[in-house]
Chain A
C-alpha cells in the first residue's frame, strides 16, 4: 500500500549509534503505530500515537523513543542501538475508529 511509506528500507548500524526510522502516510489517518517483528514472535507493539499530542508506550518500548511531527509523520528512534534490536520494523496507521491497520513496507535493521 503506497499510502504508508518507510525510510530507510534497510539499515546497518553499529552498537551504540543513534538511528531514526521514519514513517509517512497520505491516508489521512489519525492513529499511527510502530511494531517490531522477530522470527517466530509475530508483531510486537513498540509505541502508538492517537494524534500529534497523544503518544503512548506499547509492549516493548524500552530502548526506543518516538516523535509525531505531524499527523502524517511518525518517527522511531533507537537512542543507543544494541544487537538484539536487529529486527524488521513496521509502521502502521488506522482511522480514529482504530480497527483495520494498514502497514508500511518495513525497515530491515541490522545492529552489529
Chain B
C-alpha cells in the first residue's frame, strides 16, 4: 500500500548547525507535501509545504526540496536553535482527496 518512509528517527545537532530530514513516498500521484512540527504535549503545526510543480521552497531558516523522479523530499533547517527541538512529521497527499500519509516522525534535539 501507500506509505511514507522518514529518516532519521532521531537527530541531534549542535546549536547553529544545520539539520536535514528525509522522506520517501510510494504513490506517484502524490502532489502535496506538508511538514508538521510537534512540540512535546502540543498539536502538530504546519511549518512549510510544497506542491509537486515546485522543486524548492524556503521560509526564513526552513526549506523543503522535492525530487519527483526519485519520489523523495527533504526538510532543511539552518542555524538551528534550541526552540527547534521537536518531533517533525512529513506527509504526502493527493489534491482533491482526503488522504495524508504521514511519516513516522523525527525527533530533533538541538544541543546548546
0/1 string, B37-53, CB within 8 A of A gives 1: 00000111110010000
Chain A residues positioned under 8 Å from B103 (CB to CB): 42
Beta-carbon contact of A103 and B44 below 8 Å: yes
Nearest A-chain residue to B90, judged by Cβ? A42
Within 8 A of B (CB), among A53-112: 56, 90, 97-106
CB distance from B26 to the nearest CB of A (A): 15
Residue from B9, B46, B98, B102 within 8 A of A100 (CB atoms) = B46
Chain B residues positioned under 8 Å from A29 (CB to CB): none
Interface size class of B (residues with CB under 8 A): 20 to 34
Residue from B43, B46, B93, B104 within 8 A of A105 (CB atoms) = B43
Chain A residues positioned under 8 Å from B100 (CB to CB): 43, 45, 101
Beta-carbon contact of A100 and B44 below 8 Å: no
Nearest B-chain residue to A4, judged by Cβ? B43
If A97-B95, A98-B97 touch, whether A40 touches B104 (CB-CB below 8 Å) is: yes
If A100-B49, A104-B43, A105-B42 touch, whether A43 touches B102 (CB-CB below 8 Å) is: yes
What are 12 A-to-B residue pairs whose CB atoms are below 8 Å? A31-B98, A40-B9, A40-B104, A42-B89, A45-B98, A45-B99, A48-B98, A50-B98, A90-B43, A98-B95, A98-B97, A105-B43
